[in-house]
C-alpha cells in the first residue's frame, strides 16, 4: 500500500522531521511552491522555526495533455525565469501541436504569475548567501521545482534543497543534478497523481495561501509548542 498523508499539513510536519538538520539554522529559509506547496512549507517552517516565503511557479502544460509539462515558469525578484524541456518540446511540435497553441499557454501562465506576484507576500525575500529549502506537495515531473531552483539560484541562494513528501523516481533524479540535496519521503515504483497519496487533497485558493504566508514569521524561541498551521482537507 502506498504511503499516504492525512493532508498537506501532516506531510509538512513529517517532512520537517527529515530536515531536522536545518532546525533554527541561521540564514536558512523555507519557500513553498505556490499554491499547493505553501501549506506543506508552512508546517515545515513552523516545526523547524524558520522563516516562510514562497516561489511563484506555473507549469507549461501540453495542450490536450495538460498534466504533462514541456516546461515551467517561476517568479524571481521582479522577473520570470523560464525553463523548457527542449527535447520534449521538439517531440510535441513533431506530433502536430502548433507553436501558436504553446504560445497561448505561456501567455496565460505568465499573466497568472504576474497576478499572483501582486498579491502574495513572501515573494521578495533576500536569498543572497542563504540556504533555501524549496518545498512542494509532490514531484511528478519535477518541472516546476526545477524552475524554482533556477529562480532562487538567480536570487543568490548559496545552498538549495528540494523537498517534498512524495515524488517520482525520474523527478528526483532530474533534481539531483541541479540541487545540493533532494529530500523525498516516498518514491513509489509506480507514480500516480500527487493527490492519490493524500487522504485530503483539496484545492487551495489565493486566500488560503496568502493567510498562511502572512502567518509564516519565525516562531519566537520562548514560545511553547503549538499545532502547526495549515489546512485540513
From CA 13, how far away is CA 116, in angstroms rounded?
26
**Any domain includes 232:** no
Residue 100 belongs to some domain of the structure: no
Question: How high is the pLDDT of residue 16?
Answer: 98
Total domains present in the chain: 1
What pTM value is reported for the model? 0.88
Tell me if 67 is assigned to some domain. Answer: no
Q: The CATH number of the domain where 126 resides is what?
A: 3.40.50.2020
Domain-located, residue 203: yes
Report the alpha-carbon distance of residue 121 to residue 169 in Å, rounded: 32
pLDDT at 2: 54
In a domain, 79, yes or no: no
Q: For residues 132 and 1, what is the distance between their CA atoms, to the nearest angstrom? A: 32
Q: Does 166 map to a domain?
A: yes
Nearest Cα to 59, choosing from 93, 83, 31, 86?
Answer: 83
Q: Which pLDDT score, from 0 to 100, does residue 99 have? A: 92
The Cα–Cα gap between 10 and 8 comes to 5
* Positions of the chain with pLDDT lower than 50, given as ranges: 1, 218-233
Distance set, CA 215 to CA 53, 56, 94, 225 (Å): 10, 18, 47, 16
* Those residues with Cβ within 8 angstroms of residue 132's Cβ, 6 or more apart along the chain or in another chain: 28, 29, 31, 152, 157, 159, 160, 161
Distance CA 33, CA 177 (A): 19
The candidate with the shortest Cα–Cα distance to 213, out of 195, 200, 227, 230, is 230
In a domain, 209, yes or no: yes
C-alpha distance across the termini of the chain, in Å: 21
Q: How high is the pLDDT of residue 159?
A: 98
The parent domain of residue 194 ranges over 8-56+121-214
- Starting at the earlier edge strand, list the strands of the sheet with 159-166: 79-84, 65-76, 52-62, 28-34, 131-135, 159-166, 181-186
- Alpha-carbon distance of 142 to 151, in angstroms, equals 14
Give residue 171's pLDDT. 93
Q: For residue 112, is it within any domain? A: no
CB 123 within 8 A of CB 54: yes
Amino acid at each position: 500500500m502506498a504511503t499516504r498523508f492525512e493532508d498537506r499539513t501532516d506531510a509538512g510536519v513529517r517532512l520537517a522531521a527529515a530536515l531536522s538538520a536545518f532546525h533554527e539554522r541561521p540564514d536558512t529559509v523555507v519557500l513553498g511552491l505556490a499554491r499547493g506547496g505553501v501549506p506543506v512549507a508552512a508546517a515545515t517552517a513552523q516545526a523547524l522555526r524558520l522563516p516562510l516565503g514562497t516561489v511563484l511557479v506555473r507549469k507549461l502544460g501540453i495542450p490536450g495533455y495538460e498534466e504533462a509539462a514541456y516546461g515551467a515558469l517561476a517568479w524571481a525578484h521582479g522577473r520570470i525565469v523560464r525553463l523548457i524541456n527542449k527535447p520534449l518540446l521538439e517531440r510535441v511540435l513533431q506530433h502536430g501541436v502548433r507553436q501558436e497553441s504553446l504560445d497561448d499557454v505561456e501567455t496565460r501562465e505568465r499573466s497568472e504569475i504576474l497576478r499572483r506576484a501582486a498579491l502574495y507576500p513572501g515573494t521578495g525575500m533576500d536569498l543572497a548567501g542563504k540556504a533555501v529549502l524549496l518545498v512542494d506537495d509532490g514531484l511528478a515531473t519535477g518541472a516546476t521545482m526545477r524552475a524554482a531552483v533556477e529562480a532562487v539560484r538567480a536570487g543568490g541562494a548559496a545552498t538549495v534543497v528540494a523537498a517534498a513528501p512524495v515524488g517520482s523516481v525520474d523527478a528526483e533524479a532530474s533534481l539531483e543534478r541541479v540541487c545540493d540535496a533532494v529530500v523525498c519521503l516516498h518514491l513509489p515504483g509506480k507514480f500516480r497523481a500527487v493527490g492519490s497519496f493524500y487522504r485530503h487533497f483539496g484545492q487551495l485558493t489565493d486566500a488560503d495561501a496568502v493567510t498562511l504566508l502572512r502567518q509564516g514569521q519565525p516562531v519566537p524561541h520562548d514560545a511553547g509548542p503549538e499545532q502547526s498551521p495549515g489546512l485540513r482537507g
